[in-house]
Structure 1
Amino acid sequence: MNTTLNQASCSLNSSVEQHMYPAAYSLFFIVGFSANCLSLYVAWMLMRKGNSMAVYLINLSISDLLYTISLPVWIELALQRPVGDGLCSSVAVVMYNSFYVGSGLLCCISVDRYLAVVYPLHFHWVRELQTTTVVSIAVWTLEIIVHIILLDHTGALHAFSSRRLCQERIPMTGEDANFAFTRFILGFLVPVIIMTFCFQQIMQSLQQSTSILAEERKKVGLLLLFLYLTYIVAFVPYQTVMLLRAILEPGSCTWASWLKDPYLVTVATTTINSTLDPIIYCLISDSAKKEIRKAVEKCREVFMWKKVSMGSRILSVSFKQHH
């Protein structure tokens, strides 16, 4: 995330972007792109078999992929190479939407599992493919509309063709601070409260469970635990620094100077979430592991068939040459 000075008196220099971003984002891009493509494939195969939660995972993978493919642009910006203003703003919009669409989808997954584990005999309609598809579309629509309203309120949409959206103003203005407060409450605090409640109720239910499916349900709890912890580790530092900036920074070069490097570092750490989510799902979910094994077997069969076919051609050519 590039920064721009809001006041001429604020002279802030930082080497974090140039030294940390290219290395960190390159690693996250390589791992995240591969992992999310695999997760998208697995979730798609499971959805075709009627797995309703796979719909949320498809949308989560798409959201994470959109953010992941934006990372090369952030690397170019960090290295101070030329990037078109329109592309710059578009990438910024993709990044922020991915943050909050991802939060919304993780809430949906938490509520889905909460209803499945705590009320297994009820709310079946909530876990149907049609319902989860409608809910996913609603999450995307709501997040995009709210984001457009906020950007329009700050005047950023009118300056879309400039670098306004991909360059943070330092120090923050009062308007920027209000924007940050709204994002903190709607995009972070509310999802954390929902996810915490669902996870606590699921764990409580699993501890009391004596059914045959107890082991399978424990894996559900383990999956949600790792997704929850990953979200907390990735976003709590960033949201904490953003909250401090919104409270202390407006009009203050001193606070802007102190908070700039922590802010830049925590922006990079948010990428952990989009990188680890698909890996966690593919490692813990039995159904996901089965689909991965099937995909590996198919690839192996195709490879062996091509190898045999190539060997047959070589033998045929060799036979013709000798006769």
Structure 2
Amino acid sequence: MWVLLLLWPLWGLNTLGFSPESGAKTPSVYDEDESAQGGDDGTPGPWTKPQVATPCPSLPRSFPGWPCANNSDTLELWDSSRALLLGWVPTRLVPTLYGLALAVGLPANGLALWVLATQVPRLPSTVLLMNLAAADLLLALALPPRIAYHLLGQRWPLGEAACRLDTAALYGHMYCSVLLLAAISIDRYLAVVHPLRARALRGPRLATGLCAVAWLVAATLALPLGLQRQTFKLSHSDHVLCHDVLPLGTQLSYWRPAFICLAVLGCLLPLLAMLLCYGATLCALAAGGRRYSHALRLTALVLASALVFFAPSNVLLLLHYSDPGPEAWGHLYAAYVPSLALSTLNSCVDPFVYYYVSTEFRDKVREGLLRWVPGSATTSREGGSRGTGTYSSSLV
């Protein structure tokens, strides 16, 4: 698993046409409104970065841009970076992934949140699952502007304030989901590994405290995304970019520490907590024999899905800030953009591994939906679940 995760950046770069040997040294040739080639006399073409002493850097996370003369609103971009920015991956593949996350995550999480809030007893585990469903639902609601931006060929139509708000919402709700997944893993660990101690510890106060910490940390980590300008015009075009191209100076001084904190505190440490908690939980379930085989498979699935969806983008993020040379990694941001879109698909998986996998939860959904169908109230009361009204977790 970890070998695959470590090889993901190289695979993404090779897919995009880069190899470790070529890196970002050779600009891509493309046509937008004019040719990228220089003139016959050796003069640079209209899209060629002016020859200055600044080398082509690969250190910043976003594509590095240089302000045009007497116009700080417009940024110059290297030819190879421009070709990747306007290629089929950001304008076709990325909005497709975002659209899938919206189409599945919005109704699945919305229905799950409604059932958890109205049909299920307010247990400590229910509080955690409600907050997870809310975070995934809010993440889905932040995707439509991002989808429109990519489908319009990297043209942000809503202005600077909306760009800041949408970027902060995208990252904030996604990393809040990771933190809540870690909180749920702690709750499962206490329930399975320390069942006697869990009677005193697993209460409403602990669940509410874990949720409050997750939301507060996510909001704090996403706050820098709303405090710095992120929309710039791309030189020699009508493209208005949102966050994808940022001035080199602010990337080094502002965005680098912000995103390192985001990756480490918002993802890598929560994933480490999940590894430890679910690792101990898996050992305890395996010792319990075949009667826990279903919970064992679900626990392994939850852990694997979190690693698969969140680890690639954050590993790329840290690799990009580890100061790799362009001959080693090339344009890491070109691989980061689709991996970030892939991370949002976890919001589609969460409802099915945490909620709908439970027969009792599906019965609650069926009962709730039947109440909205005329003449089905009696059927719902007679044919619905005849359990005690308590909600059993899908994992334990």
Query: Could you tell me which amino acid in structure 2 is paired with residue 118 of structure 1?
Result: V
Selected match of 1:6 from 45, 65, 87: 65
Shift of 1:5: 4.0
Partner of 2:108: 35
Shift of 1:240: 1.8
Q: Secondary structure at the match of 1:159?
A: coil
* Equivalence map 1:189-208=2 (5 Å): 189-208=268-287
Give the TM-score taking structure 1 as reference length. Answer: 0.79
**Structure 1: unaligned runs, 5 residues or longer:** 306-323
Selected match of 1:21 from 63, 70, 94: 94
Query: Could you tell me which amino acid in structure 1 is paired with residue 78 of structure 2?
Result: C
Shift of 1:76: 1.5
* Equivalence map 1:1-323=2 (5 Å): 5-7=64-66, 8=76, 10-11=78-79, 12=81, 13-14=83-84, 15=87, 16-45=89-118, 48-78=120-150, 79=152, 80=155, 82-148=157-223, 151=224, 157-159=226-228, 163=231, 166-169=242-245, 173-175=251-253, 176-209=255-288, 215=291, 218-248=293-323, 258-302=331-375
**Between Structure 1 and Structure 2, how many residues are aligned?**
290
CA 1:194/1:89 → structure 2, altered by over 3 Å: closer, same or farther? same
Query: Could you tell me which amino acid in structure 2 is paired with residue 108 of structure 1?
Result: A
Whole-angstrom CA distance in 1 between matches of 2:377 and 2:361? 24
CA 1:275/1:294 → structure 2, altered by over 3 Å: closer, same or farther? same
Give the TM-score taking structure 2 as reference length. Answer: 0.65
- Whether contact under 8 Å (1:29, 1:69) holds in the other structure is yes
Q: Deviations over 1:19-48 (max 9, x none)?
A: 1233322222111101111221232246x5
Shift of 1:101: 1.0
Shift of 1:189: 1.7
CA RMSD of aligned residues (A): 2.9
Shift of 1:218: 4.7
**Structure 2: unaligned runs, 5 residues or longer:** 1-60, 67-75, 233-240, 379-396
Q: Secondary structure at the match of 1:279?
A: helix
- Whether contact under 8 Å (2:97, 2:345) holds in the other structure is no
Q: Deviations over 1:57-93 (max 9, x none)?
A: 1111111111101111001211125122211110111
- Whether contact under 8 Å (1:230, 1:272) holds in the other structure is no
Q: Secondary structure at the match of 2:371?
A: helix
Shift of 1:191: 0.9
Whole-angstrom CA distance in 2 between matches of 1:131 and 1:178? 31
CA 1:282/1:9 → structure 2, altered by over 3 Å: closer, same or farther? closer
Whole-angstrom CA distance in 2 between matches of 1:302 and 1:246? 61
36-45 or 87-96: bigger deviation: 36-45
Identity %: 24
Whole-angstrom CA distance in 2 between matches of 1:302 and 1:229? 43
- Whether contact under 8 Å (1:77, 1:83) holds in the other structure is no
CA 1:97/1:255 → structure 2, altered by over 3 Å: closer, same or farther? farther
Whole-angstrom CA distance in 2 between matches of 1:291 and 1:182? 40
CA 1:61/1:258 → structure 2, altered by over 3 Å: closer, same or farther? same
